[in-house]
Structure 1
Amino acid sequence: MAAGAVIHTFTVQLADVDRGVYDELALRVARHPSETDAFMMTRVLAYCLEYEEGIAFSEGISATDEPALVVRDLTGRVTAWIEVGAPDAARLHYGSKLADRTTVYTHRDPQKLLAAWAGKTIHRADAITLHSFDPGFVDAAAAAVQRRNTATLSVTEGQVYFDLNGVSLTTEIHQHTLAA
């Protein structure tokens, strides 16, 4: 029998000074057996860093026609398509055509992703932003993950201060554009 998803809970005190977003988030995150802790942690970070009314996790790996995170307005229209990891160019093209805004958060080497997307057809590629973190940041955060998690996440001037279960980490949010 195949193992099911493991549920992780996160209580996050969010203070995003850059965007003026302050809230307490209670997240239930299902980690699929084929998903790494680093990928799941990147999803959680992306959720917090993109937090706004209407944001939601998709059904995960099984949802081939949805991104890791999606933002919908009150009518159900997709306003933001938020990918995590290393999506292929076709997914970005599709998401960019569907949503007002498309963005990617990765725990991988951003230069390798940009090289993989170079020369590919991606709708409004110049409007898509790839976000990455300092090397080792996501792995250190993933190492601190438990089934029940308490975190504070503060963002000021592009710098992230993240405390997860008593482990304090900092990183800069690096932004890369797809179009040269």
Structure 2
Amino acid sequence: MATGATIHTFAIQLADMDRGVYEDVSLRVARHPSETDAFMMTRLLAYCLEFEDGIAFSDGIAATDEPAVHVRDLTGRLTAWIEVGAPDAARLHYGSMQAERTVVYTHRDPAKVAAAWAGKRIHRADEITLFSFDPGFVDAAVAVLERRNSMALSITEHRVYLELNGTTLESAVHEHDVPLP
């Protein structure tokens, strides 16, 4: 029998001083058996760092035509395509044609992620931004991850301060350009 998704719950106090977003958010995040904890944590961080009305997780791995996280306006129009990890160039090309804004958050080496896109056709590549965290930050967060989580996330001057289940971590949010063909 196939193993089902593992559900993690998060009670999040979000304070994004860079964007003026202050919210208490309760989330249930399903981690598919083929998804790593680092990918799920990066997906959660992307959700928080991009938080706005209309943000949602996709339907998961089965939703091949959706990003990990997306934002829709009140009419249902896709306004932000938010990828996680190391999506291929074709997926970025497709996503940047579907939404006004496309970004990628990665827990991997950003130079290697961007190198895989070099020379590939990506619609509006100059408008796509790749974000990463300090080495070890996501791994340290994963180390204290539980099924039920209490989390406070503050963002100021492109720096993330994370308190997760009593452990305090911090990282810069690094911004990288996508290589043009």
Identity %: 72
Q: Which residue of 1 aligns with 2:73?
A: 73
Offset from partner CA, 1:40-61 (integer Å, 9 cap, x none): 0001000000000000000111
Q: Which residue of 2 aligns with 1:96?
A: 96
Q: Which residue of 2 aligns with 1:174?
A: 174
AA matched with 1:142 = V
Q: Which residue of 2 aligns with 1:23?
A: 23
5 Å-filtered alignment, 1:55-134, equals 55-134=55-134
Partners of 1:66 and 1:118 in 2: CA distance? 23
Q: Secondary structure at the match of 2:61?
A: helix
5 Å-filtered alignment, 1:25-44, equals 25-44=25-44
How far has the Cα of 1:179 moved from its partner?
Answer: 3.4
AA matched with 2:63 = A
Offset from partner CA, 1:61-82 (integer Å, 9 cap, x none): 1110000001000111100000
TM-score (norm 2): 0.98
Partners of 1:177 and 1:147 in 2: CA distance? 35
Partners of 2:62 and 2:130 in 1: CA distance? 23
- Aligned pairs, number: 180
Runs of 4+ that moved beyond 3 A:
none
Partners of 1:138 and 1:72 in 2: CA distance? 27
RMSD of aligned residue pairs (Cα, Å): 0.6
How far has the Cα of 1:143 moved from its partner?
Answer: 1.0
Partners of 2:125 and 2:27 in 1: CA distance? 31
TM-score (norm 1): 0.99
Partners of 2:42 and 2:52 in 1: CA distance? 17
AA matched with 1:84 = V
